[in-house]
Amino acid sequence: MAKSEECCSTQLIDGDGIFNDTGIDQFIKEVKLGECGLSYAVVSIMGPQSSGKSTLLNNLFGTNFREMDAFKGRSQTTKGIWLANCAGIEPCTLVMDLEGTDGRERGEDDTAFEKQSALFALAVSDIVLINMWCHDIGREQAANKPLLKTVFQVMMRLFSPRKTTLMFVIRDKTRTPLENLEPVLREDIQKIWDSVPKPQAHKETPLSEFFNVEVVALSSYEEKEAQFKEQVANLRQRFFHSIAPGGLAGDRRGVVPASGFSFSAQQIWKVIKENKDLDLPAHKVMVATVRCEEIANEKYVGFTANENWCLLEETVQSGPIAGFGKKLNSILYTFLSEYDAEATYFDEGVRSAKRKQLEEKLLQLVQPAYQSMLGHLRSGTLEKFKEAFEKALNGGEGFSMAARNCTESYMALFDEGCADVVVELANWDSSRVRDKLRRDIEAHVASVRAAKLSELTSSYEAKLNEALSGPVEALLDGASNETWPAIRKLLQRETESAISGLSSALSGFDMDEQTKDKMLTSLEDYARGVVEAKAREEAGRVLIRMKDRFSTLFSHDSDSMPRVWTGKEDIRAITKTARSASLKLLSVMAAIRLDDNADNIENTLSSALVDTKNNAAVTDRSITAFDPLASSTWEQVAPAKTLITPVQCKSLWRQFRAETEYSVTQAISAQEANKRNNNWLPPPWAIVALIVLGFNEFMTLLRNPLYLGVIFVGFLIMKALWVQLDISGEFRNGALPGLLSLSTKFLPTVMNLLRKLAEEGQIPANNNPQRNPAVASKGFQNGSPSSDLSSSASSGVTSSGNGTEYSSPTKED
């Protein structure tokens, strides 16, 4: 390809008819033809060989075609078809220099190539220059007539010929004015047109339907070069804005967009070489199809490699993107606008179809990102809903109102997000994702609702359990005639309180009355269940309770003080009272009485187990006599309400009597022992005999007071031993155990007493050598020294008897 400062040229078709597709592609890039759209024109020139065609083009358009060297003789200069761009002419104008006709170099092949090149020129050119000699005008056998016949004949091979401007350039004009030459030339052209065979459809078609005929005349280049160049310069001005209305090619039609020129020219030449009729409309559609598809593929590839799209696609995989729809729409519109700009001049039907295909491919490419964005939007909205819903509930808002308000608010938020995500080119429906979000929200609300109702129910059940368990246990423990009425009253009060609270709490859940009543009934049943469960639990410990009650009543008096069996108590009456109270406990525990139905359980148990007369009567009866406790059910009591069956009551009472019999026996033994301990003095007759027989010894003591002192000291010692050995307490359990115990304690007690007396005797001498006489006298005034000694000794013995060590008495200063 040849290139000057402003002009590029390349051989489009060589002398052998081979199309130079590489060269034309490079040429189009160099002249930037693809950017011109429809704003370009193609000019070609035909004429006899060595008629100065290249010279005319070079002077007219500033091209650099090779010219014939006149000094070397006339010969073929241009072989095949050459293409160049014009320098300095707007719009972009391409010039084709065709090989001359009637050349001796081709010989017989000249006619075939002449027709092919002429047809090619007519198919692609807007203006065709026909270079002819002035002296050929009016001649029957002029060199231009075969050329015109060729042009008109090949024109018939176009199914729908394009409107072409034929500009006849008369070379080496003589003195004959152009006004005289032009009519003759036009007449010759019309004759040739009329003589050319035409298809039936164009029999009467005028020449002007296919061609605009222009005639110009130029002086001889060799003889009048300056005038020639001046005329060429004037002619050049006519090629400026040649495609504008009123220009040389202002009424052209069927123009191929510049970006498709290379492919179009190549396909046209291919059809011509195959000697087929050239259907220009079909060719135009074919060129548009290929080029639009190429442009669409380029835009699709460019989109996939676009940095903004790649970043958007990568980012949306990990999280939502603000303004996703706006960004994606901007990228899509950018590439589709580029497609529209490049394909705007091609056939509208083809262009639109290929654009639609491009849109579909692009939308198919971006749809996963769109779905990911919708997924992020749905999950994000759901999480926000959960947070807001929980916050509303924690703030004290009613459940149904909070659910309704939050649902409406965040569904609207999702709709706003969908509006921001929407891809304008696609008619994608986000309703499925929206429905999925609503289902998720409803499922979450249902889950929270169930949890809240369960939590609420559990809360009131816990309150009922706390309010009923302890009091019911206490009431059953203190079994009396008012136990079950008190339990019923407690159950009613606490149940009404709980139901009232639960009913008030359920008002915020907007539930139907049937469900609400069901929950309240369930809570009421639960309260009864708590009481019944506690009653059954206590019934399982009834024996322990009975023994505890018996022990409490039997071992303590009416003031709850421990009972001392002194011998004055009526053990039989006390035992009967305690057993009656225990039987009362058993009768209370025997059945659940929450329905205030009367029964005779207590009377049955009392008559069968406690009543002495009845027991005696039962003993006298035969084995076959009726036993009221020989049954597994109570009269007037449903089995479901029975806690302890009659048979179990009888068994429990038998076990209770056996386990409490020992306490009664022990009480009787203690009472008898106490009576024996209280009768330790000798009989009265022995006391009288002792006085009568011991009168002499008594008188002896009166005559000798020293004996009285010895006896008094002995009394004190015996008293100390009595207290410390706890003789009365030891003999309370019997004589033999008392003697054995005293034998082991006697010697250590005597030794401790002697040691204590020795220590007391040493204290005044060691610690108070100068004792105050007044204090001493005071001590004697208060009593004898033996009195102090006896007090100390008694104190020591008492302490020892209580299980403590001796402590030194407090001395007086």
Q: Are 138 and 221 in contact (CB under 8 A)?
A: no
Q: Determine the pLDDT at residue 806.
A: 32
Structure tokens that stand for 69 in this block = 């060297």
Q: 362: closest CA among 423, 320, 430?
A: 423
Q: Determine the pLDDT at residue 310.
A: 92
Q: Which one has a higher pLDDT value, 607 or 216?
A: 216
Give the mean pLDDT of 273-286.
69
Whether residues 265 and 369 share a domain: the answer is no
The sign of the CA dihedral 592, 597, 599, 602 is positive
Burial of 529 (0-12, 13-18, 19+ CB in 10 A): middle
Q: List, as one string, the DSSP characters of 667-725.
A: HHHHHHHHHHHHT-SPPHHHHHHHHHHTHHHHHHHHH-HHHHHHHHHHHHHHHHHHHHH
Give the mean pLDDT of 229-234.
91
Among residues 428, 443, 471, the one where a domain terminates is 428
Structure tokens that stand for 44 in this block = 């070609």
Q: Determine the pLDDT at residue 44.
A: 93
Q: Which one has a higher pLDDT value, 180 or 677?
A: 180
Per-residue pLDDT tens over the stretch 118-155 = 888 888 889 999 888 888 777 655 556 676 777 777 76
Q: Are 402 and 346 in contact (CB under 8 A)?
A: no
Q: 549: closest CA among 589, 581, 586?
A: 581
Whether residues 115 and 244 share a domain: the answer is yes
Per-residue pLDDT tens over the stretch 288-309 = 888 888 889 999 999 999 999 9
Per-residue pLDDT tens over the stretch 343-386 = 887 888 888 999 999 999 999 999 999 999 999 999 999 999 99
Q: Residue 625: left (phi > 0), alpha (psi -120 to 50), or beta?
A: beta
Residues 6+ apart with CB under 8 A from 42: 93, 94, 95, 96, 124, 125, 126, 127, 261
Q: Determine the pLDDT at residue 74.
A: 43
Among residues 276, 296, 323, the one where a domain terminates is 276
Whether residues 181 and 72 share a domain: the answer is yes
Q: Are 264 and 287 in contact (CB under 8 A)?
A: yes
Q: Determine the pLDDT at residue 787.
A: 39
Q: How confident is the model at residue 714 (pLDDT cuts 50, 70, 90)?
A: confident
Of the segments 143-157, 240-254, 404-418, 505-519, which one has the largest average pLDDT value? 404-418
Q: How confident is the model at residue 333 (pLDDT cuts 50, 70, 90)?
A: very high
Q: 387: closest CA among 367, 374, 377, 402?
A: 402
Which of the residue ranges 322-331, 677-686, 734-743 would you say has the lowest mean pLDDT?
A: 677-686
Q: Are 657 and 649 in contact (CB under 8 A)?
A: no
* Residue-averaged pLDDT of the chain: 80
Distance CA 766, CA 21 (A): 148
Backbone angles phi, psi at 462, to 5 degrees: -65, -40
Distance of alpha carbon 360 from the chain centroid: 33
Residue 395 lies in a domain: yes
Q: Are 413 and 354 in contact (CB under 8 A)?
A: no
Whether residues 94 and 225 share a domain: the answer is yes
Residue 241 lies in a domain: yes
Structure tokens that stand for 400 in this block = 């149904």
Residue 611 has pLDDT above 80, yes or no: no
Whether residues 107 and 239 share a domain: the answer is yes
Per-residue pLDDT tens over the stretch 426-461 = 888 888 999 999 999 999 999 988 888 888 889 888
Whether residues 47 and 175 share a domain: the answer is yes
Residues 6+ apart with CB under 8 A from 82: 9, 10, 11, 12, 65, 96, 97
Share of the chain above pLDDT 70, in %: 84
Give the mean pLDDT of 170-188.
85
Distance CA 303, CA 309 (A): 7
Residues 6+ apart with CB under 8 A from 282: 159
Distance CA 508, CA 597 (A): 39
Q: Determine the pLDDT at residue 364.
A: 92
Q: How confident is the model at residue 488 (pLDDT cuts 50, 70, 90)?
A: confident
Q: Are 605 and 583 in contact (CB under 8 A)?
A: yes
Distance CA 422, CA 415 (A): 10
Residue 386 lies in a domain: yes
Whether residues 304 and 369 share a domain: the answer is yes
Of the segments 59-68, 152-161, 318-327, 664-673, which one has the largest average pLDDT value? 318-327
Among residues 715, 747, 779, the one where a domain terminates is 747
Residue 595 lies in a domain: no
Which of the residue ranges 43-47, 274-278, 789-793 would you say has the lowest mean pLDDT?
A: 789-793
Cis peptide bond N-terminal to 91, omega within 30? yes
Whether residues 76 and 47 share a domain: the answer is yes
The CA-based dihedral angle spanning residues 652, 657, 659, 662, taken in that order and rounded to the nearest 10 degrees: 180
Give the mean pLDDT of 42-69.
83
Residue 616 has pLDDT above 50, yes or no: no
Of the segments 472-476, 668-672, 685-689, 755-759, which one has the largest average pLDDT value? 472-476
Compute the C-alpha angle 17/19/23, nearest 5°.
135
Residue 770 lies in a domain: no
Residue 421 has pLDDT above 70, yes or no: yes
Q: Determine the pLDDT at residue 142.
A: 58
Per-residue pLDDT tens over the stretch 59-105 = 999 888 877 554 444 445 668 899 999 888 888 999 999 887 765 55
In the annotated binding site for GTP, the residues are 47-54
In the annotated binding site, the residues are 47-54
Q: Are 410 and 384 in contact (CB under 8 A)?
A: yes
Q: Determine the pLDDT at residue 763.
A: 66
Q: Determine the pLDDT at residue 441.
A: 92
Of the segments 65-74, 526-535, 555-564, 728-737, which one has the largest average pLDDT value? 526-535
Residue 71 lies in a domain: yes
Residue 40 belongs to a domain with what CATH number?
3.40.50.300
Q: Determine the pLDDT at residue 161.
A: 60
State which H helix or E strand residue 358 sits in: helix 348-394
Which of the residue ranges 433-437, 440-444, 631-635, 728-732 would you say has the lowest mean pLDDT?
A: 728-732
Whether residues 374 and 233 share a domain: the answer is no
Residues 6+ apart with CB under 8 A from 11: 20, 23, 80, 81, 82, 83
CB atoms within 10 A of CB 268: 20
Residue 680 CA: distances (Å) to CA of 27, 365, 677, 694, 732: 153, 121, 6, 21, 11
Q: Determine the pLDDT at residue 216.
A: 92
Give the mean pLDDT of 475-481.
84
Give the up-direction half-sphere exposure of residue 456: CA atoms within 13 A in the CB hemisphere: 23
Per-residue pLDDT tens over the stretch 521-546 = 898 899 988 988 988 888 888 889 88
Q: Are 756 and 805 in contact (CB under 8 A)?
A: no
The sign of the CA dihedral 67, 72, 73, 78 is negative
* pTM for the structure as a whole: 0.55
Instruction: Return the HEC string of 238-296.
Output: CCCCCCCCCCCCCCCCCCCCHHHHHHHHHHHHHHHHCCCCECHHHHHHHHHHHHHHHHH
Q: Are 357 and 336 in contact (CB under 8 A)?
A: no
Distance CA 265, CA 123 (A): 9
Give the up-direction half-sphere exposure of residue 788: CA atoms within 13 A in the CB hemisphere: 18
Residue 723 has pLDDT above 70, yes or no: yes
Helix (H, G, I), strand (E, B) or coil at 8: strand
Whether residues 41 and 101 share a domain: the answer is yes
Based on C-alpha coordinates, what's the Rg of the chain? 69
Whether residues 259 and 289 share a domain: the answer is no
Residues 6+ apart with CB under 8 A from 375: 433
Q: Which one has a higher pLDDT value, 497 or 783?
A: 497
Structure tokens that stand for 17 in this block = 């008819």
Distance CA 183, CA 763 (A): 180
Which residue is associated with the tokens 């009864």?
A: 528
Q: Residue 3: left (phi > 0), alpha (psi -120 to 50), or beta?
A: beta
Helix (H, G, I), strand (E, B) or coil at 736: helix
Residue 797 has pLDDT above 70, yes or no: no
Structure tokens that stand for 482 in this block = 């008012």
Domain that holds residue 729: 686-747
Residues 6+ apart with CB under 8 A from 428: 367, 370, 422
Residues 6+ apart with CB under 8 A from 356: none
Which residue is associated with the tokens 């593929």?
A: 297
Q: Which one has a higher pLDDT value, 486 or 114?
A: 486
Backbone angles phi, psi at 436, to 5 degrees: -65, -40
Q: Determine the pLDDT at residue 5.
A: 46
- Please count the structural domains in the chain: 3
Residue 802 has pLDDT above 70, yes or no: no
Residue 214 lies in a domain: yes
Q: How confident is the model at residue 811 (pLDDT cuts 50, 70, 90)?
A: very low
Q: Determine the pLDDT at residue 297.
A: 93
Q: Determine the pLDDT at residue 801.
A: 36
Residue 189 lies in a domain: yes
Whether residues 195 and 218 share a domain: the answer is yes
Q: Which one has a higher pLDDT value, 417 or 736?
A: 417
